[in-house]
Amino acid sequence: MGGNNNGISLSGIPGFDDTALTGLFALPPAQMSLLATVLGLVFIDGLDTDQQNVLGNFFMSVGQSIATAAAQSELIQANSDPTKIMQRQIQALRKEVQSLARKVNRQ
């Protein structure tokens, strides 16, 4: 879960201060959960049930997009790790050696 940022950067927005985001990522798990609950309650104030559903689904979609991007970034990073590449090559060579050994044993 690295900080690989190949996408749009919020810090590129004029007047954007990323201090709040830095603090958000430093929160302990319980405080992060509490903040999410409080924000959820603030956002639904004055909305009817249908509006709450739309807003909730929108935030879940945003979260899913973030999770998908993070997973893809981790996969790309893992696939470019030299150690893992060598491990896959070693595994492929082992399979090839086993296949050749079976062919030799059949003759």
Containing structural domain, residue 30 = 20-81
Q: In this structure, is residue 30 part of a structural domain?
A: yes
pLDDT higher than 60, residue 7 = no
Q: What is the mean pLDDT of residues 28-57?
A: 95
93/2: higher pLDDT = 93
On whether residue 4 sits in a domain, the answer given is: no
Q: Is residue 65 part of a domain?
A: yes
Token pair for residue 20? 């709040």
* C-beta of residue 81 within 8 angstroms of C-beta of residue 89: no
Q: Is 46 helix (H, G, I), strand (E, B) or coil?
A: coil
Find, among 55, 1, 52, the residue nearest to 63 by Cα.
55
CA distance 40 to 13: 26
87 lies in some domain = no
Residue with tokens 């997009």: 65
Residue 93 lies in a domain: no
Number of domains in the chain: 1
In a domain, 29, yes or no: yes
Q: Specify the pTM.
A: 0.57
